Chains A and B, each alone.
Chain A
Amino acid sequence: MTTTEPSSALLQVRDLRTTFDTPRGTVVAVDGVSLDVDRGETVGIVGESGSGKTVLSRSALGLVTARHATVTGSVRLEGEELVGRGPKEMREIWGVRAAMVFQDPMTALNATMRVGDQITESLRHHLDMGRREARATAVALLRSVGIPEPERRIRAYPHQLSGGMRQRVTIAIALACGPRLLVADEPTTALDVTVQKQILDLLDHQRRERAMGMVLITHDLGVVAGRTDRVAVMYAGRIVEHGPTRALFHERRHHYTDGLLRCIPRLSNPGHTRLQVVPGRPPDLVDLPPGCPFAPRCPAAQDRCREETPTLTDVGGGHQHACFFPVGTPEGEEALARNRSQDGTNRTTEVAV
């Protein structure tokens, strides 16, 4: 949230902007994002593929190092500026103060190393542990992430473990040096629902036990609903709505948040319920036209939305949105009604994905 300026925030992101130079032009993947994460809290970042949620988290942790990429703005971890640091200086941050869990545990792990060695590596490097101490710590870590028979598993290679077990190992590696901030980027997307629940429970438990701040990146609003304190919804590289989780679900203001929530098939619906869709697809991030980036897909878009870009405005209680005609307000309802009556006269066909 941008309203308060707490020096106490664990992670403070201000006006972060990440661009990539491509043969087609400059892609603005993250466009002026500000976000705070406090100790002990979980912040969810939600959006479709290509909305910039992964690039945002990677930029914040200095993991965007390609020569054709530019990262500007400010990222402070416990008050210390990270933007502008090279990989060498970031090594004191990575793993020790901020760690990451990735979507695909198989590619995140080194296939040719025993999992024990992958955990002790950072313990020995960062914490100067001896071989024996590091091994004992690794066994304890594996036990704490729920791996049965850790003394034996420590000698296993990643391919000998199931997907859920592998993700537990990557979490053990991330937790090894006691980071203050944990960024989990779609940590359960590749897993079954039953295993997904186990992993989310584990992350939650570890966060509480260690009073870590956590960023949970996902495209699944079901995952963030029960697991986060606050949620930021991203679209086209920007945060379009942000607030306490309950407010965001119950008093959502942005039509994109509304669309995302409406298109989820729910267990409580009877079979064959027609799903509402968000028509169209995310815009090309090269040469984004002026106006609200969601306007071409928005059911309430007016002329103003195509000319002016809405900025995040606070509606109280730390709830912010970037919309001129918000959901659930008289202006928003009026705009929806106006568009609906026009649709009646010139029927627009459903735009393909």
Chain B
Amino acid sequence: MAGSGTAALRRRDDILLTVEHLVVEFPVGRGARVRAVSDVTFDVARGETLGLVGESGCGKSTTARAIMHAPRPTSGRVVFDGRDLGRLGNEELRRVRPEMQMIFQDPISSLNPRRRIVDIVREGLDIWGRTEGADRRVAEILRDVGIDPETAGRRRPHEFSGGQCQRISIARALALEPKLLICDEPVSALDVSVQAQILNLLEDLKAAHHLTMLFIAHDLAVVKNISDRVAVMYLGKLCEVGPADDLYARPAHPYTAALLEAVPEPDPDVPVPETALAGDLPSPLAPPSGCRFRTRCPRAEERCALEEPQLRPLLTGDGGGPDAEHVVACHFPLVPAAEPAGGGAEPVDTAAP
């Protein structure tokens, strides 16, 4: 998996966020650098929810932070609402940031334990001088997320459960009326019953506040529930991007298929599949050559070690042409795909092992 290339970009005029050739490196001592995100390209249209899935360490959260430019990525372009964030100075960037807000996995540690709920939610408004009517706005947004401002507003985070703290984090993020909400594993620390409440809340708020969302999670069922499109990441690269229902119905990348197979079905009549994806994520310090997934891939051949697959569109199910909405980076995809750019539209022989 390796997916580089720009095939995941769509030609539409309602794109809010475009990420092109994003690379994030971190120094790891002795002059060595690790590439946490390696040439990732995708876009998110206005009002759309893009789900980003992958195992721990695949670069999901790093991608999210690089989009926020916190810190700035090593290279690549992030265009948000028509502005290339890389070209903005620090002060200009600061002015853009209220339009992109983030909520995190651990709701309790992301709230300042010493401050009252109303102050936490109000802080952004104060910083940006939107003090007129701020009290009313804070009360309104707290009510929107299901927290009663009268009884709860003057309390502090430790008096709330994890689910309530996540609601408060969401209120804080929405107080500044952002265009883009980035949710980094927002429900993985919560009980299933609470998780359902938060997912429903996010759907409601998305409609009411005209939000565009980037939703990061490792739970594929959760991602399917909330996303319009899903991008699957592996070791710093994209392997497959597509409309949620289509990607789950006909996963083209062996990694996507393996992830789907590993999800336990809450039904005792569905037998646990025999095969399991063997091994661990390889070290990103020395990623495998060619396709990065080949060391764990059941379909890997020699070509996968030599040549990095590029993202390319699948062929539509009805035998038509390439489907630009659903792209995969694999030499031997599970679903016929168009030849990489430059080649014809001949499907790859999927019968090959």
Residues of chain A touching chain B, judged by Cβ–Cβ distance below 8 Å, are 48-49, 162-165, 192-198, 200-201, 219-223, 225-227, 245-246, 249-250, 259-261, 263-267, 269-279, 281, 350, 352-353
The listed residue (A196, A219, A275) touching B191 by CB distance below 8 A is A219
Q: Which residues of A contact B221 (CB under 8 A)?
A: 264-267
Contact status B56-A163, CB under 8 Å: yes
Question: Which residue on chain A has the smallest CB distance to residue B193?
Answer: A278
Q: Which single residue of chain B is at the shortest CB-CB distance from A148?
A: B279
Q: Which residues of B contact A (CB under 8 A)?
A: 55-56, 146-148, 161-164, 166-167, 191-200, 203, 218-222, 224-228, 244-245, 248, 258-260, 262-272, 276-278, 280-281
A226 touches B268 (CB 8 A): yes
Known: A272-B203, A275-B200. A259 touches B193 (CB 8 A): yes
- CA–CA, A272 and B199, complex, Å: 10
| Known contacts A220-B264, A352-B146, A353-B167; A267 and B192 CB within 8 A of each other | no
**Cβ of B161 and Cβ of A281 under 8 Å apart?**
yes
B293 → A minimal CB distance (Å):
12
User: Taking CB as reference atom, which chain A residue is nearest B267?
Assistant: A225
A304 to chain B minimum Cβ distance, whole angstroms, is 24
**A-B interface, 10 closest residue pairs, ranked by CB to CB distance from nearest:** A353-B163, A222-B264, A263-B196, A352-B146, A275-B196, A265-B225, A226-B272, A278-B193, A222-B266, A197-B262
Residues of B within 8 A of A279 (CB): 197
A165 near B280: Cβ-Cβ < 8 Å: yes
B146 touches A350 (CB 8 A): yes
16 A-B pairs within 8 Å (CB atoms) are namely: A48-B192, A162-B280, A193-B218, A196-B262, A223-B264, A225-B270, A249-B267, A263-B192, A264-B192, A265-B196, A265-B225, A270-B245, A271-B228, A277-B197, A353-B146, A353-B194
In the bound complex, CA of A273 to CA of B203 (Å):
10
Given contacts A220-B192, A225-B264, A226-B268, A353 and B225 within 8 Å (CB-CB) = no
Question: What's the least CB distance linking A50 to chain B, in Å?
Answer: 9
The CB with the most chain B CB atoms within 10 A, among A163, A220, A353, is that of A353
What distance in Å separates the Cβ of A216 from its nearest Cβ neighbour in chain B? 12
Total A-B pairs, Cβ < 8 A = 153
Given A192-B55, A226-B270, output 13 extra A-B contacts at Cβ < 8 Å: A48-B193, A193-B262, A194-B259, A201-B276, A219-B192, A265-B225, A266-B266, A267-B265, A275-B225, A277-B193, A352-B146, A352-B148, A353-B161
* C-alpha spacing A192/B195, complex, angstroms: 17
With A and B bound together, what is the CA distance between A264 and B222 in angstroms?
A: 9
Residues of A close to B148: CB separation below 8 A: 352
- CB-based nearest A residue for B258: A194
* A267 touches which of B56, B218, B224, B258 (Cβ 8 Å): B224
Q: Which residue of A lies closest to B148 (CB)?
A: A352
A275 engages B199 (CB within 8 Å): yes
The one of A196, A263, A270 in contact with B195, judged by C-beta atoms closer than 8 angstroms, is: A263
CB distance from A200 to the nearest CB of B (A): 8
With beta carbons under 8 angstroms apart, the residue of B163, B220, B227, B281 that contacts A193 is: B220
Whether the pair A246, B268 counts as a contact (CB closer than 8 A) is yes
Q: Which of B147, B197, B244 has the most CB of A within 10 A?
A: B197
Inter-chain contacts of A278 with B (CB < 8 A): 193, 196
Q: From residue A61, how far is it (CB to closest CB) to chain B in Å? A: 24
Contacts A192-B55, A227-B272 given: A353-B192 contact, CB under 8 Å?
Answer: no
Q: Is the CB of A225 within 8 A of B265?
A: yes
Chain A residues near B244 (CB-CB < 8 A): 271
The CA of A264 and the CA of B225, in the complex, are separated in Å by: 10
Task: Please indicate the chain B residues that have their CB under 8 angstroms from the CB of A219 in the complex.
Answer: 191-192
B219 touches A193 (CB 8 A): yes
Q: What is the CB-to-nearest-CB distance from B316 to chain A, in angstroms, rounded to a whole number?
A: 19
Could you say which residues of chain B place their CB within 8 Å of the CB of A250? 268
- Residues on A with beta carbons closer than 8 Å to the beta carbon of B262: 193-194, 196-197
**Would you call A192 and B269 a contact (CB within 8 A)?**
no
Quick one: closest B residue to A198, CB to CB? B276
Q: Separation in Å of the A281 CB from the closest CB of chain B?
A: 6
Once A162-B280, A263-B193, A352-B167 are accepted as A-B contacts, the answer to whether A273 and B225 lie under 8 Å apart by CB is: yes
Is A221 a contact of B146 with CB atoms below 8 Å? no
Asked if A222 contacts B203 (CB within 8 A), the reply is: no
B268 to chain A, nearest CB (A): 5
Q: Which residues of B contact A226 (CB under 8 A)?
A: 264-265, 268, 270-272
Tell me the complex Cα distance, A200–B274, Å. Answer: 12
A201 to B273 alpha-carbon distance, docked (Å): 10
- Report the separation of the CA atoms of residues A195 and B191 in the bound assembly, to the nearest whole angstrom: 20
B263 partner, pick from A222, A260, A275, A350, beta carbons under 8 A: A222
CA distance A182 to B278 in the complex (A): 24
| Contact yes or no, B193 A274, CB < 8 A | no
| Residue with the highest number of chain A CB atoms closer than 10 Å, among B224, B248, B277 | B224
> Among the listed A227, A271, A352, which residue makes an inter-chain contact with B224, where contact means beta carbons less than 8 Å apart?
A271
Q: Roughly how many angstroms separate A352 CA and B117 CA in the complex, as a whole number?
A: 15
Nearest-neighbour CB distance to chain A for B284, whole angstroms, equals: 12
- Distance in angstroms between the alpha carbons of A165 and B280 in the assembled complex: 8
Shortest beta-carbon distance from B131 to chain A in Å = 27
CB distance from A335 to the nearest CB of B (A): 21
With known contacts A192-B55, A271-B244, A281-B163, A164–B193 Cβ distance under 8 A:
no
- Tell me if B276 and A272 are in contact (CB < 8 A): no
A96 CB, nearest partner CB in chain B, Å: 30
Do A195 and B193 touch across chains, with their CB atoms under 8 A apart?
Answer: no
Question: In the complex, how many angstroms separate the beta carbon of A258 from the nearest chain B beta carbon?
Answer: 12
Which residues of chain B are near A266, meaning CB under 8 Å? 221, 265-266
Task: Please determine whether A265 and B199 come into contact, CB atoms closer than 8 angstroms.
Answer: yes
Give the complex CA separation of A198 and B278 in angstroms: 8
- Do residues B245 and A271 form an inter-chain contact, with CB atoms below 8 A? yes
Within the assembled complex, what's the spacing in Å between the Cα atoms of A352 and B271?
36
Are A225 and B266 in contact, with the CB atoms below 8 A? yes
- Bound-state Cα–Cα, A164 to B276, Å: 14
Which one of A193, A220, A222, A276 lies within 8 Å of B259 (CB-CB)?
A193
- On chain A, the residues within 8 Å of B270 by CB distance are 225-226
